[in-house]
């Protein structure tokens, strides 16, 4: 299923949902991705600056990828319906 993230908070929510659906704790995901549990927590909460490489490590650990495409022209309400 395709999901849209336009902010760090939205990306964190997607990663959290995916982690929970995979029955992984933050510590287990951190171990798979080679990062600290605290870092997973911050990313899932949309907090702080994160290296792009760290995001890609998490995506790989969750078997996800990023697809870059032009932004849709829907209204803000339409976009919020996705979440």
Domain boundaries, the chain: 8-65
pLDDT (0 to 100) of residue 77: 58
64 has pLDDT over 90: yes
pTM of the entire predicted model: 0.79
- Calpha distance 66→7 (Å, rounded): 14
CATH class of 8-65: mainly alpha
- Calpha distance 46→44 (Å, rounded): 5
15 burial via Cβ count (<10 Å: 0-12, 13-18, 19+): buried
83 has pLDDT over 70: no
User: What is the tens place of the pLDDT at every residue in 3-48?
Assistant: 889 899 999 999 999 999 999 999 999 999 999 999 999 999 999 7
């Amino acid at each position: 299923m395709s999901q849209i993230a336009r902010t760090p908070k939205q990306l964190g929510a997607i990663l959290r949902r995916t982690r929970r659906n995979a029955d992984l704790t933050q510590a287990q995901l951190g171990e798979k991705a080679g990062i600290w549990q605290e870092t997973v927590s911050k990313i899932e909460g949309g907090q702080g600056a994160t290296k792009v490489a760290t995001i890609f490590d998490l995506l790989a650990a969750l078997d996800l990828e990023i697809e870059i495409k032009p932004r849709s022209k829907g209204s803000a309400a339409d976009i919020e319906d996705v979440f």
